Amino acid sequence: MKNLAILISGGGSNLQSIIDSTKNGVLKDIAKVVVVISDNPSAYGLERAKKENIKAVAFDYKNMDKKAYNAEVYKTIKESKADIICLAGYLKKIPENIVNEYKSKILNIHPALLPNFGGKGMYGHFVHEAVVKAKEKKSGATVHFADENYDTGNIIIQKEVPVYETDTADDVAKRVLVVEHEIFPKAIKKVIESEV
């Protein structure tokens, strides 16, 4: 059984899909979520964790010294005895000491087909707006290993969705989110079973 630490910044719908899959999906009997950490004390994902009796911790990134913030996150991950760290809509860069210690054990989900539409500032709605503006015929989601840069780590799994001419960024976002919920647990399973 592998312990998962999930880092979030917002609603936590990917967190929920991971929790659900540990109960009755692809992660059943092989993984459990031991801690949820947020940089945003009002993130709804913290409520999701509490409902499931999972330890939920928030550090107020905006009002903390960055070194102190990173130290607290590191300490919380260590104390949870996490084997794998999942960035489920977590918008902060992972500090180097955590990246180095958890090489190939930090997974991030990105709402596009990397290497396209990745990098600094490319998250959430900004990604879908860029996809629509570029008149792309397809988008999708990518789970990849996180490293010290934004969206550059090796890809674990990707899945495409079509983009239609009449689509708004919201239309694309909805379609991509369905795929995110499907592939994130699968990617975690791949890492656990084959140590990708």
Give me the DSSP letters along 87-152.
ESS--SPPPHHHHHHTTT-EEEEESS-TTTT-STT--HHHHHHHHHHTT-SEEEEEEEE--SSTT-
**Cα 49 to Cα 91: distance, rounded to the nearest angstrom:** 18
110 is catalytic: yes
Instruction: Give the integer Cα–Cα distance in Å for 22 and 91.
Output: 24
CB-based contacts of 69: which residues, under 8 Å, 6+ apart? 39, 59, 61
Catalytic-role residue among 110, 128, 144, 181: 110
Is 50 strand, coil or helix?
helix
Chain-centroid distance, C-alpha 32: 16
Residues annotated as catalytic (active site), given as ranges: 110
